[in-house]
Amino acid sequence: MDLSFFNGKNNAIIMIILGIIALVFPLISTGTIGVLIGAIVLILAISLMINGIFQLSVSRLYGIFSILFGLLCLIFAYQLIFNPAVVSAIIGIIIYLFGILLIIIGIISILGPFRLIGITTIIFGIITLLVGSSVQDPKVLGTIIGIWLIISGIIALFDKDNGYIDVHI
């Protein structure tokens, strides 16, 4: 499988585009919360799986975790989109789990070669936990995910080392 398309710069541009979609999509639709959050989680899943595939050659642990987290998000997005009644019953738990998972993936990123992106991921995980009750609005969740993807994409875009940043903390 040729992965030459998934170089650091293309990956950064994909993250920025997905971030913009996550910011804009909730504002366009007034559909159900489950479908909106499902679409946002689907965008996150696609981004994580693309990142994970590309990052396997740099950090096997981070790449595998990103792919597995992406697959988990993909399954979760399917449930959110096609079974929105379940979402209304468990929305509070979903938001806090999402924040915890962002913090976990951020910690794993810091342990590997993706330290600055890991720091931003942890920050957005903490923000998600702190504003958990407000995040029940899909516009707020879309904004958090969109900003996270855009910042991570910009960091990767301007890095000279193929989208990986090591800040030597």
- pLDDT < 70: residue spans in the chain: 1-8, 26-34, 84-92, 133-139, 141, 160-169
Looking at residue 84, what is its pLDDT? 59
Q: 139, 23 in Cβ contact below 8 A?
A: no
Which of 10, 26, 13, 4 has its CA nearest to residue 144? 26
Q: pLDDT > 70: what percent of the chain?
A: 70
Which residue shows structure tokens 């959110």? 80
Q: pTM for this structure?
A: 0.51
Q: 120, 148 in Cβ contact below 8 A?
A: yes
DSSP 34-81: HHHHHHHHHHHHHHHHHHHHHHTTT-HHHHHHHHHHHHHHHHHHHHHH
Q: Domain segments of the chain: what residues? A: 8-157
